[in-house]
């Protein structure tokens, strides 16, 4: 039987900051995109701050209202990335089978130790090493597969160690609400509950035909995991699978027509945004690729201070790069790629009073586009310049007034 660990760093960004400022340990501390009132949001906070009502993504002014004694620190992403690299190097000193899944969490396959040391003792050693060498706390879940290890690491925080065996599922896992199951998105919890799947146990014991009819093929995989079945291996190379996310297209014919070029950039931005959302990551870098009629290639990239993931944001940035780099020669190929990808949970965007309304609008439009692409296919919204603009306008109108996509008359945009 496999023995897998899920190592989850506790309040990672805040803990890294406290490792540099140990005098703040035990105090309510939060990391924010901007520490100025009304110009930033809380990225993460210590458990002392959380106990006083401070939450991730809460505006700074609201967090300070909830906890007047809150100590705010400005985020330092380079510092967190360095800490993450060092943390994973420590994990790899125990086994080469380490799979990072975000900046502050990963899986370890420690089956090789099963005759040498009890898994709980090994987890304690790892915790002690991370504290001693980096002054960073973590929680560790121990289980025979990835899903159960992940669920176990969430059960005792901070600095907990939890063993979750298959025979313990009815007692420890199944009573948990469906909202706590890994793989169930917040937006779909209501649908599961409406179908009377209220707990993980309800999902594990549900009629497979019923849940497949209600939720599609994903339901079968989720049910298997709820039953404790998950054969995914720990893959050390998976971190390389999406170091960047992008898309490119070769034009039907070489062109200098700027209207056509802009339409293609919009289509590419839609595709890249869709894939970023599917992976639940955001990008701190964007690159535009132009291949000309004579096969010469130009790449222009930009590092971003604020993460991007919406279609409109990606398009606007790509369009700016295009205007800086195009030499007016006919174009054969265009490509947009994003890099420096970060889990959405750890991304932040400084809230600006003049752009916040637009940011919210773009977010709702992109979420609606993602819903349509999930239902009708990724390319449902990317054919034709006039069609693209008409569909986006249609989406904007319905997104902003909250029209449900479930209504028959709204299932298909005008074509």
**Catalytic positions, written as ranges:** 105
pLDDT above 90 for 185: no
Position with higher pLDDT, 180 vs 239: 180
Please check whether residue 258 is in contact with residue 245, taking contact to mean a CB–CB distance below 8 angstroms. no
Domain ranges of the chain: 12-78, 169-226, 242-410
**Residue 71, beta-bridge partner list:** 29
104 appears as a binding residue in the annotation? yes
pLDDT above 50 for 384: no
The greatest distance separating any two alpha carbons of the chain, rounded to the nearest whole angstrom, comes to 68
Contacts of 130 (CB under 8 A, 6+ apart): 87, 90, 136, 137, 138
| pLDDT digits 0-9 by tens, 62-84 | 999 999 999 999 888 889 989 99
pLDDT confidence of residue 81 = 86
pLDDT confidence of residue 353 = 38
**Confidence band, pLDDT 50/70/90 cuts, at residue 102:** confident
* Alpha-carbon separation of residue 130 from 12, 49, 120, 126, 302 (angstroms): 12, 23, 16, 6, 34
Query: Taking the domain 242-410, which CATH number applies?
Result: 3.30.1490.100
The phi-psi region of residue 57 (left if phi > 0; otherwise alpha if psi is between -120 and 50; otherwise beta) is left
pLDDT confidence of residue 403 = 36
* Alpha-carbon separation of residue 222 from 181, 192, 219 (angstroms): 9, 12, 5
> At the top level of CATH, which class does the domain 169-226 belong to?
mainly alpha
pLDDT confidence of residue 43 = 86
Position with higher pLDDT, 374 vs 158: 158
pLDDT confidence of residue 263 = 94
How many CB atoms are located within 10 Å of the residue 213 CB?
11
Fold of 12-78: MutS, DNA mismatch repair protein, domain I (3.40.1170)
Q: Do domains 12-78 and 169-226 have the same CATH topology?
A: no
Position with higher pLDDT, 97 vs 307: 97
How many CB atoms are located within 10 Å of the residue 171 CB?
8
**Confidence band, pLDDT 50/70/90 cuts, at residue 279:** confident
How many CB atoms are located within 10 Å of the residue 136 CB?
21
Position with higher pLDDT, 344 vs 161: 161
Rounded percentage of the chain residues whose pLDDT exceeds 70: 80
pLDDT confidence of residue 386 = 45
pLDDT mean across residues, the chain: 84
């Amino acid at each position: 039987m496999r023995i897998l660990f899920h190592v989850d760093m506790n309040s990672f960004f805040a803990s890294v900051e406290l490792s540099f400022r140990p005098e703040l340990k035990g105090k309510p501390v939060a990391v924010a995109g901007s520490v100025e009132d009304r110009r930033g949001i809380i990225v993460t906070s210590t458990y002392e701050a959380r106990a006083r009502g401070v939450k991730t993504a809460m505006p700074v002014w609201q967090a300070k209202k909830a906890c007047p004694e809150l100590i705010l620190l400005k985020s330092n992403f380079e510092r967190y990335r360095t800490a993450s690299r060092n943390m994973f190097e420590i994990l790899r000193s125990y086994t080469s089978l380490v799979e990072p899944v975000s900046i502050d969490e990963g899986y370890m396959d420690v089956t090789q130790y099963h005759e040498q040391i009890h898994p709980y003792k090994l987890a304690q050693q790892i915790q002690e090493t991370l504290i001693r060498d980096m002054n960073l706390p973590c929680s560790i879940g121990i289980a025979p597969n990835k899903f159960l290890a992940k669920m176990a690491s969430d059960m005792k925080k901070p600095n907990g160690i939890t063993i979750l065996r298959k025979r313990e599922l009815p007692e420890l896992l199944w009573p948990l609400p469906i909202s706590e199951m890994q793989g169930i998105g917040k937006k779909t919890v209501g649908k599961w509950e409406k179908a009377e799947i209220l707990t993980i146990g309800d999902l594990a014991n549900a009629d497979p035909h019923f849940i497949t009819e209600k939720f599609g093929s994903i339901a079968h995989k989720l049910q298997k995991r709820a039953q404790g079945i998950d054969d995914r291996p720990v893959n050390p190379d998976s971190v390389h699978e999406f170091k960047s996310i992008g898309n490119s297209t070769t034009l039907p014919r070489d062109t200098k027509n700027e209207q056509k070029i802009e339409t293609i950039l919009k289509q590419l931005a839609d595709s890249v945004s869709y894939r970023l959302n599917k992976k639940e990551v955001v990008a701190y870098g964007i690159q535009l690729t132009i291949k000309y009629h004579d096969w010469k290639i130009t790449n222009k990239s930009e590092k971003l201070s604020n993460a991007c993931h919406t279609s409109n944001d990606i398009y606007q940035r790509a369009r700016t790069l295009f205007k800086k780099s195009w030499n007016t020669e006919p174009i054969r190929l265009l490509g947009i790629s994003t890099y420096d990808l970060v889990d959405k949970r750890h991304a932040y965007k400084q809230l600006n009073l003049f752009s916040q309304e637009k940011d919210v609008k773009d977010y709702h439009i992109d979420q609606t586009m993602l819903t349509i692409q999930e239902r009708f296919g990724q390319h449902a919204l990317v054919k034709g310049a006039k069609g693209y603009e008409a569909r986006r306008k249609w989406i904007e109108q319905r997104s902003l007034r909250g029209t449900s996509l479930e209504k028959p008359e709204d299932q298909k945009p005008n074509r």
